[in-house]
Chain A
Amino acid sequence: AQSVTQLDSQVPVFEEAPVELRCNYSSSVSVYLFWYVQYPNQGLQLLLKYLSGSTLVESINGFEAEFNKSQTSFHLRKPSVHISDTAEYFCAVSYYNDYKLSFGAGTTVTVRA
């Protein structure tokens, strides 16, 4: 079984500052890795995913995440955040060909002016 640990429950950050959200997973086999974002009072949206290939994956709104197999991590970063990035972010994993997602507890990012 896999488990997901998000190391920070709350991350306050000023506008235009960088942010990093940490995610570690434990699994004895290869997994797929995802970051989902939940804006206030909305459902979850896929932000980015790692399936295979390049270990650095990017989203269309400036976020990126790097898969590190040796450290079993998939940290999410953005070099300069906006007020609109205020949301809860969830790291998730799944096995190959298994549709079940196992989620971390979530990290709430609050961006202040």
Chain B
Amino acid sequence: EAQVTQNPRYLITVTGKKLTVTCSQNMNHEYMSWYRQDPGLGLRQIYYSMNVEVTDKGDVPEGYKVSRKEKRNFPLILESPSPNQTSLYFCASSAYGTDTQYFGPGTRLTVL
């Protein structure tokens, strides 16, 4: 089944404790992206990647890092999480030349 998976789905952590949210897609898509969803703000792009080893900032990159060492994986790293990073995070992927993005199920992160 073609899908985007994220782990964990739910995470509660404390300020300053490094964490990684994994994202994996099995569709051989070149493009991958991370969004955060906050009430009243919709989804905002954090980082995106056009292919392996090619990443760039989105609209709200502060406090986040990403890497793209393999085509299928695009982890989101929070080196020192803060409470304002409490949010619902979505990973998405898309193939070159297409207009449809496929979204993962989301990761709900709470930073205390």
Contacts and interface: CB of A to CB of B under 8 A. Distances in A.
Interface in B83-112: 90, 92, 94, 99-101, 103-106
A100 B33 CA distance: 8
A94 B100 CA distance: 11
B74 interface: no
Given A90-B43, A101-B45, A44 B90 contact: yes
A45 B103 contact: yes
Interface of B: 4, 31, 33, 35, 40-45, 48, 50, 58, 90, 92, 94, 99-101, 103-106
Nearest to B97: A97
A34 B28 CA distance: 23
B105 A46 contact: no
Contacts of B92: 44, 101
A99 B48 contact: yes
Contacts of B43: 44, 90, 92, 101, 103
Interface of A: 4, 6, 9, 32, 36, 42-46, 49, 51, 90, 92, 94, 99-101, 103-106
B9 to A, nearest CB: 9
Contacts of B99: 32, 49, 51, 94
